[in-house]
Structure 1
Amino acid sequence: MSTTATDLMALSRVIPVVVLDDADDAVPLARALLAGGVPIMELTLRTPVALEAIARVTEQVPDMLVGAGTITRPEQATMAVTAGARFLVSPGSPEPLVTAMLAERVPVLPGVATATEALALLRHGITEMKFFPAGPAGGPSYLEALAGPLPGVTFCPTGGVNHGNAADYLALPNVACVGGSWLTPPTLVKGGYWDEISRLCFGTWSEEAQD
C-alpha cells in the first residue's frame, strides 16, 4: 500500500526540518530520530549534500520516511525522488512546481500562505498543505480562521514554529502536525550528540502528550 500525504502527516506530531552540511550526519541523525519515536524527516535541499544525504538515509535506514524539502524548481522534484525521497515539500505553490511534484507520484505538501493559494491547490485535488511561513503569515489565529471556509484542508505549519508555540498550532482541528528544526539543533547534529537528539524527541510530541 502506498503512503499518502494524510498518512505521513499522521506519523508524528512534529516533522523535523533538517539542514545538513555533511552527508555523513544523515544516517546517524535518522537513527537518532527513530530511537526517539520520530519516523519521518524532511531533508531540505538547501545545501550541496542534501541529495546524497537523502540517498544514504533511504538505503541505510529503511524505517525512516525521508522526504525532500525546499523544492523550489520543477527539476528538483525528479532529482529528489531519484535520490530516494519518499515525499516532497515546497515553500510555495506556483503552477509549474505543483505539476512537477505531482508527476513524481509521491505524497506532496506544497506551501501556501493565503486562502487563494489553498484554493488553487484544491483544484488539483490537494487537501494536505504546508502553511509557510506560519508565524509571519498569521500564526494559529490565521489558520483557525481558514478552518471555516476551507473545511477539507489540513495543514502542516512550518516557519516560526518552535517548542514554545507548537501546542497552539496542534490544538487546531485543521492542523495535523507541525514542521520545525528544534528537534535537530545544528549544534547537536554537528557535534554528533545523537542520544541527546533522541531525548529531545522521545515522548514529547506523541498524541498522548497532547491530551
Structure 2
Amino acid sequence: MSARPHAAIWGRSVDSLRRQHASWLDAVHPDDRARMQGRWAALATQPHYDEEFRLVLPDGATRWVRDRLFAVRNFRGEVYRVARVTSDISARREMEALLRAADANKNQFLATLAHELRNPLSPIRNAAALLGVTADSGSERQARAREVILRQVDHLAHLVDDLLDVARISEGKIVLRREEVNLAPSSPRRSRPPRP
C-alpha cells in the first residue's frame, strides 16, 4: 500500500475536484461506479466510508485503491467538506489474486493426486487377496506378507479418501451442516419413589 499525491493516484488534477466535487466518480471503474455513487450520495446519513474499488486512469490502465472518506460538517450539521485518504493497493490485490490462483491449483493437484493414487489400490488389494488362494496358501510367511499388504493398502485408501475430502471441501463440494446433538443417555430418567 502506498501513499501518493492525488494526481498520481487518481490520474486527475485536484483542480477538477474543486470545480466539480463529484468528478472523482468519473475515474471509478464502471463496475464499481454505482456502488461508489451510492456511498457518496449517502454521506448525509452515513458520515464516513472505507471502500476498495478500481480506478481507470486516462491511459486506460486500471488501479485498485482503498478510499477512506469522512464528512466534515458545519454547525448546522451540513456536510460542507470531506477528508479523504486514498491509498494505492494494486500490489496487494495482485498478490491476493496470485494466492487465490495458487490455492485453486493446489486444490486441483490434490484432487488429481487422490484420484491417481486411488486407481492402483484395488488391483493391489485384489492381488494380495489372491495370494491366499494359491497352492502354497498354507505358508505362514505368505499369510503374514498378505496381511501386511492388505493392512497397508487399507491405510493408503484412508489417506487417499482424506485427500479427496480435503479437495472437495476446498472446492466447496462438501457442505458442513451444524445441528444440535443431545449427548445425554437416550434411556428415560427414572423417578425416585417418594420417601415415606
TM-score bracket, normalised by the shorter chain, equals under 0.3
- TM-score norm. by structure 1 comes to 0.20
Of the two, which has the highest radius of gyration?
A: 2
* Greater relative CO, 1 or 2 (CA 8 Å, sep 6+): 1
- TM-score norm. by structure 2 comes to 0.21
